[in-house]
Chains A and B, each alone.
Chain A
Amino acid sequence: MNAIIALSLFGITNLFLGFLNNRKILLPATLLFVLIAFGLNLADWNHEYYWFHNMLKTNNLSINFTSIILVATALVVAISRGFGNDEEHTHPAEYYGILLFSVVGAIMMVTFQSLFMLFVGIEILSVAMYVLTGSDKRNLRSNEAALKYFLMGSFATGIMLFGIALVYGATGSFDINGIGNMVNQAKLQDIMLNPYGPILYGGIILIFVGLLFKISAAPFHFWTPDVYDGAPSIFTAFMSTVVKTAGVAATYRLLSISFPAVYGLWGNPLVYITCLTLFIGNITAVYQQSFKRMLAYSSISHAGYLLITVLAKTPTTNSSILFYSLAYSIATISAFAVLMVVSEAQSKSGKPDESFTALNGLATNNPFLAFVLTVSMLSLAGIPLTAGFFGKFFIFADAFSNVSSLFKTIAVVAILMSTVGIYYYFKPIIAAYLKKGDLEKIELSPIYKLTLIITTALTILLGIAPDLVKNIF
Chain B
Amino acid sequence: MNYQPSDYLPIIVQIGAALAFIVLTMVATHWLGPKRHSKAKDDVFECGIESVGNARTPISVKYFLVAILFVLFDVEIIFMYPWAVNFKTLGWDGFLEMIVFMSLLLAGFIYVLKKGVLDWEK
- Chain A interface residues toward B at CB < 8 A: 8, 12, 15-16, 19
Contacts and interface: CB of A to CB of B under 8 A. Distances in A.
B55 to A, nearest CB: 26
Given A8-B104, A12-B104, A12-B107, 5 more contacts: A12-B111, A15-B111, A16-B107, A16-B111, A19-B114
- The 4 A-B pairs with the shortest beta carbon distances in the complex, nearest first, are A12-B107, A15-B111, A19-B114, A16-B111
B69 to A, nearest CB: 15
A12 B111 CA distance: 9
A12 B107 CA distance: 8
A194 to B, nearest CB: 30
A15 B104 CA distance: 12
8 contacts: A8-B104, A12-B104, A12-B107, A12-B111, A15-B111, A16-B107, A16-B111, A19-B114
A142 B93 CA distance: 45
A27 B27 CA distance: 67
Give the dominant DSSP class at A's interface. Answer: helix
Give the contact-size bracket for chain B: under 10
Contacts of B107: 12, 16
A12 B103 CA distance: 11
Interface of B: 104, 107, 111, 114
A16 B107 CA distance: 9
Contacts of A12: 104, 107, 111
Nearest to B107: A12
Contacts of B111: 12, 15-16
A19 B113 CA distance: 12
A191 B76 CA distance: 41
Nearest to A9: B104
Contacts of B104: 8, 12
A213 to B, nearest CB: 25
Contacts of B114: 19
Contacts of A15: 111
Nearest to A91: B115
Contacts of A19: 114
B76 to A, nearest CB: 15
A8 B107 CA distance: 12
B103 to A, nearest CB: 10
A8 B100 CA distance: 12
A8 B104 CA distance: 10
A97 to B, nearest CB: 9
Nearest to B110: A16
A291 B40 CA distance: 64
A116 B62 CA distance: 34
Nearest to A8: B104
A71 B102 CA distance: 32
B31 to A, nearest CB: 46
Nearest to A16: B111
A337 B61 CA distance: 35
B17 to A, nearest CB: 36
A16 B112 CA distance: 11
A198 B94 CA distance: 40
B93 to A, nearest CB: 12
A16 B108 CA distance: 10
A29 to B, nearest CB: 17
A310 B88 CA distance: 48
B58 to A, nearest CB: 16
Nearest to A97: B111
A124 to B, nearest CB: 13
Nearest to B111: A15
A15 B111 CA distance: 8
A382 B11 CA distance: 68
Contacts of A16: 107, 111
A388 B104 CA distance: 42
A12 B104 CA distance: 8
A266 B82 CA distance: 39
